[in-house]
C-alpha cells in the first residue's frame, strides 16, 4: 500500500476512534445532576468540539483519499484539524476539574483514564494527517 493511501487511512481510523472515544461516556455512563454535562463542558472549550472536529476530519480524509477534492487541500486541512483536535484535547484533559473527574460512581472509575484515550486517538489522527501531507506535498 502506498503512502498516499496509507496515511489518510491512518488519519481516518484515528479520527473515527477519536469520535467514538468522545461519545462513549455520554452513552455508557448513567450520571445524575448534570455530572456528564459538567464533564463534557470542563476546560475552556469543552470536549464536544473535539468530537465535532473528528467527524469533520473523517469527511476531509475520505474526500482526499477518494480524490473528490484537491489532495493538497485535503492534506492541509487534515493537518490543521488534527493539530487543533490534539491541542484542544490536551487543553481539556489538563484543565478538567478533579472534583468533576472523580465525582462519578466507582463503576465509572475508567473515566479517569478516558482523557488519555482521547489524547491518544487525536495523536493517531495527527500522525495520519502529517503523513498524508508529507506524501502529497
Q: How many Cβ atoms sit within 10 Å of the Cβ of residue 103? A: 15
Average pLDDT over residues 108-135: 95
pLDDT (tens digit, 9 = 90+) per residue, 27-44?
999 877 788 999 999 989
In this prediction, residue 12 carries a pLDDT of 94
d(CA 66, CA 68): 6
DSSP assignment string, 41-94: H-TTT-SHHHHHHHHHHHHHHHHHHTTSS-HHHHHHHHHHHHHHHHHHHHHHHH
pTM of the model: 0.92
pLDDT (tens digit, 9 = 90+) per residue, 8-24?
999 999 999 999 999 99
C-alpha cell at 118: 482521547
Amino acid at each position: 500500500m502506498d503512502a498516499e493511501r496509507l496515511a489518510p487511512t491512518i488519519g481516518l481510523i484515528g479520527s473515527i476512534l477519536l469520535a467514538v472515544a468522545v461519545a462513549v461516556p455520554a452513552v455508557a455512563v448513567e450520571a445524575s445532576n448534570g455530572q456528564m454535562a459538567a464533564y463534557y463542558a470542563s476546560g475552556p472549550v469543552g470536549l464536544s468540539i473535539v468530537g465535532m472536529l473528528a467527524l469533520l476530519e473523517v469527511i476531509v480524509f475520505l474526500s482526499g483519499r477518494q480524490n473528490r477534492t484537491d489532495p493538497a487541500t485535503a492534506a492541509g486541512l487534515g493537518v490543521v484539524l488534527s493539530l487543533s483536535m490534539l491541542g484542544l484535547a490536551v487543553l481539556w484533559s489538563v484543565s478538567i476539574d478533579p472534583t468533576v473527574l472523580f465525582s462519578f460512581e466507582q463503576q465509572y472509575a475508567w473515566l479517569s483514564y478516558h482523557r488519555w484515550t482521547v489524547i491518544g486517538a487525536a495523536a493517531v489522527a495527527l500522525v495520519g494527517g502529517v503523513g498524508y501531507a508529507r506524501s502529497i506535498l
